[in-house]
Structure 1
Amino acid sequence: MALARVSPPAFSSPFLIHSLLRPFSSPSSVLRPRVTRVPHHRGFAIAAALSQASPLPSADGDGAVMEAPPRPSSRRPWKPTCLYYTQGKCTMLTGHGYNLSNAVYKLNDTLHLEKFNHNLSTDLPVNYSAADKVKSQKLDYFLVLDLEGKVEILEFPVVMIDAQSMEFVDSFHSVWHDTAIPFMEVLQEFEDWIEHHKFWKKEQGGALNSAAFITCGNWDLKTKVPEQCRVSKIKLPSYFMEWINLKDIYLNFYNRRATGMMTMMRELQMPIVGSHHLGIDDAKNIARVVQRMLADGAVMQITAKRQSATGDVKFLFKNRIR
C-alpha cells in the first residue's frame, strides 16, 4: 500500500514538496499532489498515494498483478482516484493548503484535477441494458468493506451500493496507525457516517438497519476487526456482528469456487480498475463484482453472524468457502 507518514515541516518552496513526493509518482509526472496537513490527526500529514492502474488478470491465481486500466466505451478517459479526496482532505477542491505562490498553486490545481479522479461513481457505472435478471433484495444498501495493510498501517475503505438500483451512493475511507490515528477515532468517524445514512444509532446500538457489510472472505470482520479492537482495548461494535461473504454467495449462485476478487473478475471477464491491494480500489472492484452479480440475478444474504462480541461466528451457508 503506497501510503506514507511524514512530519509536516514548514515548506518554503514547491521544490521541497516536489522532492518529498517523488517516490509516490511515476517519473513521467510533471507536478505531484502536495502533502496536505491534517490538523486533527496529531500533526501528521499523509503523503499522497496514487491509485494507479493495473494488468488484465492472468491465469496465475488470485495474486496475479494487473497493469492496464480498462478501456470503457465512455469518452471520458480513466483516471486514478485522488486518495486525499476519498478521505475528505483534497485541498485542490477546498482551496486550502500550504502557502505557496499563487502561480504554482493554480498550476498544481489544474494539473491535479486533470490527472486524478474525484468522483468514484465514474468507476462504478450501471449497465441497465444487461439488468433484466435483477431480483428484489431484502436489504436496501450494501457496504463493501475491504481492509488492507499490516501492523503499521491499516486502510478502512467502504463503498456503498444501492441494493435495488445497483448504483454507487457514497464511500467512507480512512487510514489509521497506532501512533498517529487511533482506531477509536476511525470508528467514531465511521459511526458518524453510518448515522448520517440512518443505518445505525449510537444510543440504540444493534446491527445495521436496512444495510449489510459485504466482504470478499471472512477475514475482515471475523479476524482483523476483533483483533484490532483487542489491541485498542475497545469492545467490538455491534454493527460488526454480521456480514455477507461474497465468496459464499458466488459459490452458491454460479456453482463454482472463487478464491478471491481476482478469480471472480477473471471468471466474469471483468478488467480490474486501479491497483490490486490498494483498499479503496479493491473495494471498488469488489463493488463492481457485486453489481455484476446483482445484474445476473444473485440475491445477497447474510452468511455469517456473531451472537456476542466475544462469541464464536456462526456460518449460515452449508455450502461455503472454508
Structure 2
Amino acid sequence: MALARVSSSSRLSVSSFTTSSMLHSFLRPFSTSSSISAPRFSHPRSFPTDVGLSQDSFASTAREEGDVIEAPRSTSRRPWKPMCLYYTQGKCTMMDDTFHLEKFNHNLMMDLPVNASAADKVKPQKLDYFLVLDLEGKVEILEFPVVMIDAHSMEFVDSFHRFVRPTAMSEQRIREYIDGKYGKFGVDRVWHDTAIPFGEVLQEFEDWIGGHELWKQKQGESLNSAAFITCGNWDLKTKVPEQCKVSKLKLPSYFMEWINLKDIYLNFYNRRATGMMTMMRELQIPTVGSHHLGIDDAKNIARIVQRMLADGAMIQITAKRHSATNDVEFLFKNRIR
C-alpha cells in the first residue's frame, strides 16, 4: 500500500503488526486437542510481574525531556501496559476478550507519540522513512523486529516483528537457548508458539516492505527512500550475512546499506555513546519494556531517533556493502569503531 502522510489516528489502520513487549507473562499451554499445523495460541491471563514503568512516571520524565515524548493518554487512571507479543506477529486470538485487552496494549503508537511542536523542528531529510532494526540472537537470529518511523513528521508508521526459529540447532539446544534468552522475560512460550525459520521471516518481511512501496523484488534493488537504522554495525555488517549463510540464502539487496545511529550520535552531539542505554541516559529518555527483548529495544532506539530529529539531526547512510567484493565502506570520518 502506498504511504500517505495522515494523522496518527488514521494510521492505526495501517499496521496489522503493531509492536511493543509482554513482560513476565504467564501463558496457558496449548489445548491438547489442538493440531500441530494450526495451533490455538494461548495468551496471558494475569498482570505481568514487572511492567517496568507506570504511565505516571513516564509522564513525569517526558515533561523533563521537552517536546518529543508526550505522556500516554489516561496517565492518572491506569499503569503503563506491556504489548501483546502475539498481536505484534498477527496471531492474537483474544481481541474480543475484555480482560486481555485491559492487561495488554495493542497499539505501539502509545509508546511512540510525537508532539506537533517537535515535528516543526525537524530538518529536511534525504530519506522519507527509517526502519529501526534490532536483532536478537548471537548464535542464530532469534528475533527480527522493525519499527518504521516517518523521517519528516517523526511519527510511528508501522512495524514488523517475528520470532525466528534456528535452522542449524537441535531441538534440545533450541530449548536451552530460548530458556536462557527469553525465559527471564517470561516470553519463552510465545517464542515457541510463533517462531518461524529465517527464510520465511524474510519472505514475509519482503511482502511488508513491498506493501509499503519501499522495495521492489528486482535483482540488486535497494530500498526506496528508506534505510535501516541500527545501534551499531553488527546487525547488518555481521549477523544478517552470517544467518543467510547458515540458512543457505543469498544476502538480499535491501541489506546492502544502513545507518549506524552511534555514528550519527557522535557527529551530531560530539560525544561517544557505547550503546542504546547510554544514549537514552544522556538524552534523559526513559526506557520502556525490557532491554534485550528485540521489539522493545527497537522501540527505544526509535524514540532516540525521534529525539535526535527534534534536536535537528540529519540522519543519513553511514555504511555500504559492495556486492562485488562484499567489503563494507564506512562513509563517516568520525565513527564508532
1:230-245, aligned counterparts within 5 Å?
Answer: 230-245=245-260
Are residues 33 and 165 of structure 1, via their aligned partners in 2, closer, same or farther at CA, if it must alter by over 3 Å? Answer: farther
CA distance in 1, matches of 2:284, 2:237: 29
Q: Check if 1:91 corresponds to 2:93.
A: yes
Cα pair 1:235 1:309 within 8 Å, conserved: no
CA distance in 2, matches of 1:319, 1:301: 14
CA distance in 2, matches of 1:231, 1:220: 15
CA distance in 1, matches of 2:310, 2:31: 40
Cα pair 1:146 1:216 within 8 Å, conserved: yes
Q: How many residues align?
A: 269
Q: Which residue of 2 aligns with 1:177?
A: 165
Q: Which residue of 2 aligns with 1:14?
A: none
Shift of 1:265: 0.4
Which residue identity lines up with residue 137 of structure 1 in the other structure? Q
CA distance in 2, matches of 1:287, 1:231: 29
CA distance in 2, matches of 1:271, 1:187: 32
CA distance in 2, matches of 1:40, 1:144: 36
RMSD over aligned CA atoms reads 3.0
Structure 1 runs (4+) deviating above 4 angstroms are: 32-37, 39-52
Q: Check if 1:130 corresponds to 2:118.
A: yes
Match of 1:54 among 46, 52, 55: 52
Which residue identity lines up with residue 75 of structure 1 in the other structure? S
Q: Which residue of 2 aligns with 1:293?
A: 308
Q: Which residue of 2 aligns with 1:216?
A: 231
Deviations 1:59-100 (A, max 9, x none): xxxxxxxxx97243632442101101110100012x6xxxxx
Unpaired runs of 5+ residues, structure 1, are 1-22, 27-31, 57-67, 96-108
- Greater length-normalized contact order (CA 8 Å, ≥ 6 residues apart): 2
TM-score (normalizing by structure 1): 0.76
Identical residues among aligned pairs (%): 74
Deviations 1:209-229 (A, max 9, x none): 010000000010001100000
Which residue identity lines up with residue 267 of structure 2 in the other structure? N
Shift of 1:150: 3.6
1:35-54, aligned counterparts within 5 Å?
Answer: 53-54=51-52
Match of 1:201 among 216, 223, 226: 216
CA distance in 2, matches of 1:290, 1:232: 31
TM-score (normalizing by structure 2): 0.73
Q: Check if 1:75 corresponds to 2:90.
A: no
CA distance in 2, matches of 1:161, 1:126: 11
CA distance in 2, matches of 1:42, 1:204: 34
> In structure 2, the residue corresponding to 1:259 is in which secondary structure?
coil
CA distance in 1, matches of 2:133, 2:230: 5
